[in-house]
Amino acid sequence: MGDGRSVCGIAGIVGRRADTLTLRAMARTLTHRGPDDEGVWIDAEAGIGLAHRRLAILDLSPTGHQPMQSADGRWVISFNGEIYNHPALRRKLEERKQAPQGGWRGQSDTETLLQAIAAWGLEKALSEAVGMFALATWDRRERRLHLVRDRFGEKPLYYGWAGRDLLFGSELKALRAHPDFAAEIDRVALGHYAARTYVPAPRSIYRGVFKLPPGCILTIEPGALGSPPQEPPAEGGTQGGLRLQRYWSYRDVIE
């Protein structure tokens, strides 16, 4: 959501079908999560598109519209969640003279987090942010997409393939809206469901579609779509141009 206490919805495509029509179709499956506003951002040259459905609570104005671009133009974000300590993060950015040039556009925690990413880098910003969230952020300079889930996985985030397009979304129905989505049942996941009455992460009920684990960053490197893998990358490893890293661990905190 990025500016309130309930839910918003995010979705996106990396690949040839990163077009407005498909992105809006994906986003509109999430209207129940964000009835107040809809946004789409596309970099056609890079083959990347982000979509957002907004529930506006903290910042009701158009300055909270998403996807949102950082003041320096490098980062674009589609964000679902809430950063509880965003006023403190704003003060820290201001004290360090790292606030956006020209001043803040609005009061949304999305803008605060985005500026923290621009000023400190993604991992440092995540280490400073306290909240519940799922987000996608595109680094226009490095041409990398990062998918991130909060420390305990309060906000959902799925990713997978439709043909050679990589998709992501807050719910599986957003991925199903892509015209090339095969919706092939994962028999291993089906077995887990029969035994446990749920599908454990990182699998989903669909073959080639996975849940991003809590406290993790999935980075999609340039050229990642050459041969879509059927298994998710292992933590700390790279597979098919996808790199999965943990930015927070409760075990490390306990130790």
- The tokens describing 6, both together, are 């309930």
How far is it, in rounded angstroms, from Cα 109 to Cα 112? 5
The pLDDT value recorded for residue 165 is 92
Phi, psi of 87 (to 5 degrees): -60, -40
How far is it, in rounded angstroms, from Cα 142 to Cα 11? 21
C-beta separation of 180 from 244 below 8 A:
no
**Pairing outcome for strands 242-246 and 238-239:** antiparallel
Closest by alpha carbon to 148, among 229, 65, 60, 248? 248
Which residues are annotated as catalytic? 8
Residues in the chain: 255
C-beta separation of 111 from 102 below 8 A:
no
**Integer angstrom CA distances of residue 39 from 20, 51, 84:** 10, 6, 24
The pLDDT value recorded for residue 252 is 83
Residue corresponding to tokens 């680094």 = 139
Residue corresponding to tokens 């803040």 = 104
In this structure, how many other beta carbons lie within 10 angstroms of the beta carbon of residue 162? Answer: 23
* The residue type at 217: I
Phi, psi of 232 (to 5 degrees): -75, 155
Question: 3-class secondary structure for the chain?
Answer: CCCCCCCCEEEEEECCCCCHHHHHHHHHCCCCCCCCEEEEEEECCCCEEEEEEECCCCCCCHHHCCCEECCCCCEEEEEEEEECCHHHHHHHHHHCCCCCCCCCCCCCHHHHHHHHHHHHCHHHHHHHCCEEEEEEEEECCCCEEEEEECCCCCCCCEEEEECCEEEEECCHHHHHCCCCCCCCECHHHHHHHHHHCCCCCCECCECCEEECCCCEEEEECCCHHHCCCCCCCCCCCEECCEEEEECCCHHHHHC
**Going residue by residue through the chain (255 aa), what tens digit of pLDDT does each one get?**
444 344 799 999 999 889 999 999 999 999 999 888 899 999 999 999 999 998 765 555 677 889 999 999 999 999 999 999 999 999 999 999 999 999 999 999 999 999 999 999 999 999 999 999 999 999 999 999 999 999 999 999 999 999 889 999 999 999 999 999 999 999 999 999 999 999 988 999 999 999 999 999 999 987 776 667 778 888 888 887 899 999 998 888 888
- The tokens describing 221, both together, are 């490197």
